[in-house]
Structure 1
Amino acid sequence: MKLSTFCAKCIKKSLRHKKQIQAKADKNKRHRPQKFFGCSMRYVPWSKIKDWFCTACGDCCKEFKVPLRAYEATLLSKIFGFYCMELEVGATYLKRGLNGRCIFQVKSGGRMVCGIQSIKPIACKMWPFAVFEAPRYEQRNEASFDFRGETFFVYVNPFCRGLVYGRPSLRLVNSVIPEFIELRLGLRRRQVRSTSFTIKIPALEPKTPLETDYNRMKVTPFSPLINKTCSTLTSFGLVPTFVDSGSHNGRVNSYEN
């Protein structure tokens, strides 16, 4: 056998073996539990869910890292400073306190609610749903959802306590999922049926990001003025200077159906 023929056979065998390894890796990748907020979790198609409500348990703000987009990181850093974020290689996350919770999460009326509701990251707004324009996981037909003449693929993270499994309700189909798709597409800013529990803290709730007066939102370290309601914020020195003791009334907005 000529050397050239032997080399050609070896190359073909090597390429064939490489393709087999790649095909096996792709197959394993498709069936591997996906990651959301840094936690491995297998998603469920929306058609398996009967209904969903945010229970304000706060687990999503404790068990997962909240990723920030570039514009979100810029906005939050201008308001609260860079201390409200954690930087990792190729990613930026909201900072978590010593108790493991997001530093912007506060307790009110026995519920864990968001202190920056109007400007919170899109990752928080979308929890526990994930909306894609192409199928990402198994059960493509069960995940498809028609909205305004287009087909989207909607999945749910089963970690959330507010999920009720069963045949999808009219509320889920007509109100809940469309709102998440609108949030995903940037067609909606105000949340109603998604993670909309909010607490009224004027210092942390500018009307809109564009109307925020950044000069008034400067940070003073370890301010004691909001210690009772935002202890996690004060522990990291993220309390604006103009907060007074009467700025928080301890009420939570009612859940809108």
Structure 2
Amino acid sequence: MDLELVPLTHVYGGGLFFDTAHIEEAMRAWVDWVHTVPDTVTSSVALVRFPPIDEVPEALRGKFVLHLRFAFVGADEEGERLLAPMREAAPTFLDLVGEMPTSAIGSIHNDADQPGPAWDRGMQLEDIDQEFVTEFLARAGAGTDVPFIAIEIRHIGGAASAEQHGGTAIGGRQAPFTLVMIGVPVPELFAEAMPQKSDYIVAGILPWIASETNINFLGHVASTQQFASAWPSDAFDRLANTRTTWDPDRMFAYGP
């Protein structure tokens, strides 16, 4: 395996936090804004329900927020200019965006660094619009009862969508967004409550769900058809034939 390193020492990145009252206006602004930024910008938004526990910083404890995650490769001044429309879209109660070393990129999402019980379900989306925001927030926004800590929509595209010489076995290249629902760490809710609530959310956004996805975003696999959707059909057939040839006894038995 050959790896090519990128000489990148810092990025302009971090997060903007919008309180409950400003979630809708901020998310609607993001859906329009994300179509205008260059490939040097990576962003996502997440509806986050912070539990009221001491482990959560006091400023976020018990809050329901929209967290805009942002990273820009280039001069800080240009990153600030590109982010300005989102800073102006709605009031923020925390603005944590600034220059950071690449070694601190993980702090943008600030995911847990310790193992624990987890449930998630993911998919990829076709291009999203204001009607999508309406349907999504009606089922997952303020005033709804969902057992998810976070529901994130991530913008991809750029080099991820570029065709590779000779083809690859990577699925979901042409779907420009991903969506993932991350459940509360309560295992007794994993079997019924979370699948049922996720089905309810999915039912409202079906017109925007891509037919193809990527195995890294799929989460819980419930059927053979769902498993196969993580690759283009020709790539899946090629991988299945390779598996039959080299692992006929299914020692590595991932997937249905």
Which TM class, normalised by the smaller chain length? under 0.3
TM-score (norm 2): 0.24
Computing the radius of gyration from Cα coordinates, the structure with the larger value is 1
Q: Given the two structures, how large is their TM-score scaled by the length of structure 1?
A: 0.24
